[in-house]
A and B are shown apart, each in its own frame.
Chain A
Amino acid sequence: MKKTVFLGTAAAATLLSGMVMAQEGSTLAQVKERDELNCGVNTGLVGFAAPDANGNWTGFDVAFCRALAAAVLGDANKVRFVPTTGQTRFTALSSGEVDVLARNSTWTYSRDTDLALDFVGVNYYDGQGFMVNRELGVTSAKELDGATICIQTGTTTELNLADYFRANNMNYTPVNIDSNAEGEQQYMAGACDAYTTDASGLAATRAAFADPENHIILPEIISKEPLGPAVRHGDSNWGDIARWTLNALIAAEEYGITSRNIEELVRSSTNPEVQRLLGATDDLGAMMGLDAEWARRAILAGGNYGEIFAANIGEQTPIGLARGLNAQWTQGGLLYAPPFR
């Protein structure tokens, strides 16, 4: 019997020591040790994140993950994309399953505070819109009193819709749907008069219809949907790295740094801000635990913000989104990267 007790104690000790050894380190250290970035993305959203037939991820959000991996690990392919659903995304982030969440998530007050997330910026300014059939004869969202509306559950759009109709003293009947594909189907089948979701999603949906000319997107944008990457509360340095990687992509477009001319600019640029950003002078990277060339690699991964936008969701793609609010502040948009100094 003594032997059994001894073995039991040994087993318990092994278990405990295993738990004690694995102390929580900084996210940066964990990522470097793993040599891979775990990035939470959408399970599939046209233009923003989608796996192709071989499982290679592409998209607007995916490009941010790749830039971050390039900045931290030096290789844009050292990313493991963790598909997250609307229900699991924030838990996946706070439980440590992913290091960063780039999943077209709206930055809101309660998510930033109550859910203990830190949004590191905005990579796409979206807003909620409505699509209706042309035959309905509606030209403004104000005329939708009494309409049945297809709405995705568990999203901010659901709350915005209720707010908007209450504010305008109108009634509506919601038709709850689970996914974008189901929403399209319900809308096409005539189960609802109007379909509402983010304007970027509406544009993509309309583009895929057999008869896009018969559907119109109403001019009203009823909400602010600043979509951005998020990290966990509590590791400010990791938040800085994600924030400034995004800022580097935006600033690169402002200063005209593209993936094509970047090598040349490193050598020949006379703009001191470009020099600092690209690590030619000053060592900005060291201030957050990276090397001097972090931003150079991030920009090289998929290009600057404008290049990423054009390649994934811009006007040359079938989705065909205009820059709009997502233009640089110098072009009348909202993108404004703080100075690199």
Chain B
Amino acid sequence: MSDTHAQTVAYVRDTMLPAAAPPLRESGAVRWLRENLFSGPVNTILTILGLLIVWFLVATFWDWFAHSVWNASSLSECREIIAATWGEGARGACFAVIRERWNQYVFGFYPQSLYWRPTMTFGLLMVALAPVLFSASLTIRRVVLVITAVVTLWAMSVLGAPVGWLLFSAAVLVAGLLASERNIAWLLPFSAIYPLLGVWFLWGGSLWGPIFVLVGPLLGWVAWRMLSGVSPLLATVAALLVTLLFWMGLAGEAARDAENILSLSIESVRSDRFGGFLLSLTIGVAGIALSLPLGIMLALARRSDMFLIKSLAVIFIEFIRGVPLITLLFVASLLLNYFLPPGTSFDIILRVIIMVTIFAAAYMAEVIRGGLAALPRGQYEAADALGLDYWKAQRLIVLPQALKISIPGIVSTFIGMFKDTTLVTFVGLYDPLKSMSDAVRANIAWKGIYWEPFVFVGAIFFLICFGMSRYSMYLERRLQRGHR
């Protein structure tokens, strides 16, 4: 039937037209613009307003950035260069201050010949963090560790690290890389002892100190093993007591004696030499590493059925959250000295780390409590039905889910805490943002410089915090389970 018509009816088309490009307003950039920026009157007005603001910002600040001077030894020299290049009355940024005081912004007053030590510390930190942060993906681990190894070794050799230490860190970095290729869990023991190693690298002194700090828990574990047959409670108490007593009574003496027999010392650096980003990162990393476990314990304690534990947790959290961080820092730096016996020197950075940690932990506890509360009741009941005891139920069923829910909140707390490390300026430590910049300005060559240090320090803080935020998003994606 149709055949006949196809042959006889002249107006039936027998070939397809070639596909034409969509109309201009329905394709490409024009369509994107129309749909996203000019879809309606309100949207159009907002777009124009936004463009005006951007234009205003660029128009106002462009010349300041464009006239930047990077090579000068004083603010007045900067001004001369700007006047000579861009004419009288031109303004420009004088980033030469960053160039000249770069070391101070990064390392504070750390001895120049020892700059390689913090560099090595943070390089090895990446190795210690690999099994914790990047346990899932071999590719990411490989990229991170290779970059870390190259950058660390290059920086250390530029900074004049002794050959022995270069070989040591090369060995650790390569071993870390190999372990990461085979089985990342092998690196966990290194992660466990890293905090002590890091402290030793940064502050120096005798290695026997950290070694005997490690011996304490070991003795505690022995005590626990010996008594665990008698009574679990007694064993736990004894383990804690043995550890504490060893630390308070014997560890110091033993470390001194061992040091006299076999010296394992590197040049020690005092806390008042720390400053700049070295200080911020030291406090930030220590605070982050310590506040998460403490926060988990507090969150569990707050949801505990035991009245005393629960009340203590509530009091602690509410008290710490109710007090501004600056108050805590003042307490750490000044009030403690009234209570401690005169002559005791309790390291100021340690004091600050403790205060920052408990401050962040109180917030962390509430964030994690939110995650715990969000878990359906069925999960707890399932754990009970399986016959798991409290700790096993928390470890295997409750916490993995609760922590996953809380990731955005946890990372927010971390970011907030890291930025709060600049508050140490109020207790006379040299944070990069204010104290260090004021110290730079106290030199007559740079007096009067104002915005450039803020821009620089702000940019570095942004990079670090943005990195943390992206990492948390990666973690959320990776831990996504079902519900799609």
Contact = CB atoms under 8 A, between A and B. Distances in A.
A51 B440 CA distance: 8
A45 B442 contact: yes
Contacts of A275: none
Given A80-B272, A84-B428, A53 B450 contact: no
Contacts of A204: 444, 447
Contact of B441 (A18, A23, A95, A181): A181
Interface string A1-25: 1011001101100110011011111
A236 interface: no
Contact of A205 (B104, B108, B112, B447): B447
Given A7-B238, A43-B435, A49 B442 contact: yes
A102 to B, nearest CB: 15
Nearest to B91: A210
B341 interface: yes
A183 to B, nearest CB: 11
Contacts of B109: 51, 54-55
A283 B425 CA distance: 45
A52 B112 CA distance: 13
Interface string A208-243: 111000000000000000000000000000000000
B444 A207 contact: yes
Interface stretch (B53-61, B136-144, B331-339, B469-477): B331-339
A158 interface: no
B194 interface: no
Nearest to A3: B238
A44 B428 contact: no
Nearest to A182: B450
Given A14-B248, A181-B441, A95 B428 contact: no
B434 to A, nearest CB: 8
A30 interface: yes
Interface residues of A, number: 57
A313 B180 CA distance: 59
Nearest to B102: A53
By CB atoms of chain B within 10 A, which of A1, A49, A208 has the most? Answer: A208
A92 interface: yes
A50 interface: yes
Contact of A7 (B245, B334, B441): B245
Nearest to A53: B104
Nearest to A34: B343
Contacts of A4: 234, 237-238, 241
Contacts of B430: 43, 83
A85 interface: yes
A317 B445 CA distance: 11
B443 interface: yes
Interface in A90-139: 91-92, 95-97
B449 to A, nearest CB: 8
Contacts of B337: 95-97
Contacts of A46: 441-444, 447
Interface string B226-241: 0000000010011001
Contacts of A168: none
A11 B248 CA distance: 8
Contacts of B249: 14
Contacts, number: 131
A319 B237 contact: no
Contacts of A22: 341-344
Interface in B268-284: 270, 272-273
Nearest to A48: B442
Contacts of A35: none
A208 B435 CA distance: 19
Contacts of B448: 184, 205, 208-210
Contact of B444 (A21, A49, A208): A208
Contacts of A256: none
Nearest to B335: A95
Given A18-B341, A88-B426, A209-B448, A10 B245 contact: yes
Q: How large is the interface on B (under 10, 10 to 19, 20 to 34, 35 or more residues)?
A: 35 or more
B427 interface: yes
Contacts of B426: 85, 87-88
Contacts of B242: 7
By CB atoms of chain B within 10 A, which of A3, A50, A84 has the most? Answer: A50
B75 interface: yes
Interface string A169-186: 000000000011100110
Contact of B428 (A30, A43, A55): A43
B308 to A, nearest CB: 18
Given A7-B241, A7-B245, A46-B443, A184 B450 contact: yes
Contacts of A80: 270, 272
A47 interface: yes
Contacts of B237: 4
B302 interface: no
A318 interface: yes
A4 B238 CA distance: 7
B259 interface: no
A325 interface: no
A208 B338 contact: no
Given A8-B241, A53-B104, A92 B438 contact: no
Interface string B7-30: 000000000000000000000000
B100 A95 contact: no
B343 A30 contact: yes
A80 B245 CA distance: 33
A50 B442 contact: yes
A208 to B, nearest CB: 4
B122 interface: no
Nearest to A21: B341
Contact of A88 (B103, B112, B333): B333
B392 interface: no
A144 interface: no
B203 interface: no
Contacts of B442: 42-46, 49-51
A82 interface: yes
Interface in A19-72: 19, 21-25, 30, 42-47, 49-55
Contacts of A15: 248
A98 to B, nearest CB: 10
Contacts of A10: 245
Q: What are the 9 A-B residue pairs with the smallest beta carbon separation, nearest first?
A: A55-B109, A44-B442, A50-B442, A22-B341, A208-B448, A95-B337, A208-B447, A44-B439, A44-B438
Interface of B: 75, 79, 100-101, 103-104, 108-109, 112, 234, 237-238, 241-242, 244-245, 248-249, 270, 272-273, 330, 333-335, 337-338, 341-344, 425-428, 430, 434-435, 437-444, 447-448, 450
24 contacts: A4-B234, A7-B241, A14-B249, A18-B341, A23-B342, A43-B428, A43-B439, A44-B435, A44-B442, A47-B444, A50-B443, A51-B109, A52-B443, A83-B430, A85-B426, A88-B426, A88-B427, A95-B334, A95-B335, A95-B337, A205-B447, A207-B444, A209-B448, A317-B444
Interface of A: 1, 3-4, 7-8, 10-11, 14-15, 18-19, 21-25, 30, 42-47, 49-55, 80-85, 87-88, 91-92, 95-97, 179-181, 184-185, 204-205, 207-210, 317-319
Given A8-B241, A181-B437, 4 more contacts: A22-B342, A47-B444, A53-B101, A88-B427
